[in-house]
Amino acid sequence: MKEKKIKAIAVGVSAGGLKALVELFSNLPADFSLPIVVTQHLHPADDSYLATLLDRITLLKVKEAIDKETIKPGVIYLAPPNYHLLIERKETISLSSDEKVNFSRPSIDVMFESAANTWGAGLIGIILTGASSDGAKGIKIIKDAGGLTIAQDPNTAEYSMMPQAAIDTGAINNVMSLDEIGKFISSLRR
């Protein structure tokens, strides 16, 4: 069977996310060459502390996404508070203040769907801890586009509702602990 060429990783996370993202990104190698796009549910008034904190614990560059910027390899992009993050077909970022989806802005479903439309079978979609079902619809779209889908094992998640909702869609390829997801991601090369 022909191996898929991985082009990008999309991560959705909510409640309990800070701890999960620190664990996931702290061991990535300096030569990691895939772009990672993260939608973390944030309060609209939050500042960019998340990008600053994550940038300190990983060897990769972590930044809050900027509208119309080109996505680069080896960079972790975070959806800014109160904006949906979308991936455009020419691998640029689009920020939107459209209505909330699943009571959230940024919405994981919005980001996952646009990432699947751009990268298709070259995308890995990952759902981590969270206390909503946001991301379940989007993870199914990633799977339908031929992408690889991963959910954090709900038994290891601080909040199990979000990974369990994704698993319940039947569209998850692998259920893993955070440690297993981190090791898997670290082994990837573009």
Which of the residues are catalytic? 14, 41, 134
Residues 6+ apart with CB under 8 A from 136: 109, 127, 162, 165, 166, 168, 169
Report which of 125, 167, 171 is spatially closest to residue 144, judged by C-alpha positions.
171
E strands, 71-156, where?
75-78, 84-87, 93-96, 123-127, 148-152
